[in-house]
Structure 1
Amino acid sequence: MTMTMQVLDAGQQILAAVPDPSKGGGNPPGWNKLLMVLHWVFLGVTIMAVAGFLIVGGRMALAWRRGEGAEHASGLGVACIACIIIGSASGLVSTLTA
């Protein structure tokens, strides 16, 4: 047997020893409860993000009326960054639970 054949044979034995996760016993105990908590946290954070946009928009409207419209742009930027983080976390959790 040549050296190449020995390496290929050893590689096949290693791959055969790796367990197949698709044939596992399913989710660990308490997984559904964890998903329920994550769902409620996601809903709460989404509501807070929408409220943040509404609050910043209201402040900007009042400031615009007084002639000070640009000061609240940083608050709008923070709200946008928060929504990006929320969306990223949501995608990550969806990928992990699929």
Structure 2
Amino acid sequence: MHLEALNLAADVLAAIPNPSPEEPPGGAGFLKILGWGAWIVFGLGVLGILFAAGKMMIDQKSGHGGGQHAQSLGMVLVGCIVASVASGIVGGVVAAAGGMS
């Protein structure tokens, strides 16, 4: 039964078309929108880092420490890393699925 399921899965994967990696009509506009999105995301990342740093400084001055805001700074940095490698992640998934070679 497992072998039949694997054979069926292989047949389905073999039937998936492999498109050529050429830009479709209007692709330049889409890439422009992606560029704007990237600028917005990284701008928000910078604002997030500045906000977390400011909260850490205020809490440190009032004697509360800054541990809670250090955690939010870490989350902002993780978000920046994910945004930075987004195209690599998508490219890796597409390549692993056998598409756009």
Q: Give TM-score, length-normalised by structure 1.
A: 0.65
User: Which has the higher Rg, Structure 1 or Structure 2?
Assistant: 1
Look up the match of 2:34.
38
Q: Which residue of 1 aligns with 2:55?
A: 59
Alignment of 1:77 onto 2:74: yes
**SS of aligned partner of 1:68:** coil
Query: Counterpart amino acid of 2:29?
Result: K
Structure 2: 5+ residue runs without aligned partners? 1-17, 95-101
Verify: 1:27 aligned to 2:20, yes or no.
no
Matched letter for residue 39 of structure 1: G
Q: TM-score, normalised by structure 2?
A: 0.63
The runs of 5 or more residues in structure 1 that have no matched partner are 1-18
Does the residue aligned with 1:28 lie in a helix, a strand or coil?
coil
Does the C-alpha gap of structure 1 residues 92 and 71 become closer, same or farther in structure 2, counting only changes over 3 Å?
closer
Sequence identity percentage? 32
Give the count of matched residue pairs.
75
- How much has 1:94 moved relative to structure 2? 8.6
The code of the aligned residue for 1:85 comes to V
Larger RCO (alpha carbons 8 Å, 6+ apart): 2
Q: CA RMSD, aligned part only?
A: 2.6
